[in-house]
């Protein structure tokens, strides 16, 4: 039987730490939390690989090192109220080790079931699992200090913008350029200032695409 605890340590030491992740809280969380609990059974053996994982049609997770860098970019604080939009519950489980309250939003009901079971088995009690369209966010628990989107975006829907508190931030991967870039958007006086960080590829999250002009003959 594979030593998954050793695999987690190896993931941190060989993938995460060499990728300029210096936040010890992130490395501690990734060393402790079993990623395989948030994946379908057939993918469990790939839980600590440095690659995108397709967990269902149209549902992909970021490689662990990219997710770790994205979380570090968010500069989490202990009192933060966070909305995490992802295709699996692992990202929210990591964030929950560093923030006060976390809402984990899924568009897929099977992901909701898997995440709830995983959080319960790991005694993670500060994550609320909800289901709905990603682009609508979750207004019931707003305003948020942070919205973390585990995937790519071309635009931020107004519903999401309105759920971020003043001086709050959104972290995701912008796909507007040919090369994807992790970005943090800081809200100031109702406007968002963008800061680019590292290059990264990511699948586009449903509802976060720019409107395309209709084709005309």
What CATH number is attached to the domain comprising 175?
3.40.50.150
Is 69 contained in some domain?
A: yes
Is 214 contained in some domain?
A: no
Is 108 contained in some domain?
A: yes
Burial label, 186 (beta-carbon count in 10 A; 0-12, 13-18, 19+): middle
Band of residue 211 on the pLDDT scale cut at 50, 70, 90: confident
Cα separation, 104 vs 119, in Å, equals: 11
Domain that holds residue 145: 4-199
Query: Into how many domains does the chain fold?
Result: 1
Note the pTM of the prediction, 2 decimals.
0.93
pLDDT at position 58: 83
Is 206 contained in some domain?
A: no
Is 216 contained in some domain?
A: no
Is 139 contained in some domain?
A: yes
Is 102 contained in some domain?
A: yes
pLDDT in tens, 66-124: 999 999 999 999 999 999 999 999 999 999 999 999 999 998 888 899 999 999 999 99
pLDDT in tens, 4-47: 999 999 999 999 999 999 999 999 999 999 999 999 989 999 99
Is 213 contained in some domain?
A: no
B/e letters for 54-85, b = 16+ CB within 10 Å, e = fewer, are: ebeeebbbbbbbbbbbbbbbbebeeebbbbbb
């Amino acid at each position: 039987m594979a030593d998954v605890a050793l695999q987690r340590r190896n993931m941190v030491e060989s993938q995460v730490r060499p990728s300029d992740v210096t936040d010890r809280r992130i490395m501690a969380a990734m060393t402790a939390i079993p990623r395989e609990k948030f994946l379908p059974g057939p993918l469990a053996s790939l839980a600590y690989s440095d690659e995108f994982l397709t967990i269902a049609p149209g549902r992909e997770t970021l490689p662990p090192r990219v997710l770790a860098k994205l979380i570090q970019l968010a500069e989490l604080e202990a009192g933060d109220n966070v909305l995490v939009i992802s295709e699996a519950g692992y990202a929210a489980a990591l964030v929950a080790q560093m923030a006060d309250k976390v809402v984990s939003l899924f568009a897929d009901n099977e992901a909701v079931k898997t995440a709830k079971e995983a959080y319960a088995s790991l005694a993670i009690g500060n994550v609320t699992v909800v289901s709905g369209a990603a682009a609508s966010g979750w207004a019931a628990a707003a305003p948020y200090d942070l919205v973390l989107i585990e995937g790519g975006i071309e635009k931020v829907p107004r519903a999401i913008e309105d759920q971020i508190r003043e001086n709050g931030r959104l972290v995701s991967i912008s796909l507007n350029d040919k090369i994807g870039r992790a970005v943090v958007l800081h809200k100031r006086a109702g406007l968002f200032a963008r800061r680019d960080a590292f290059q990264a590829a990511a699948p586009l999250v449903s509802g976060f695409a720019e409107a395309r002009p209709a084709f005309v003959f």
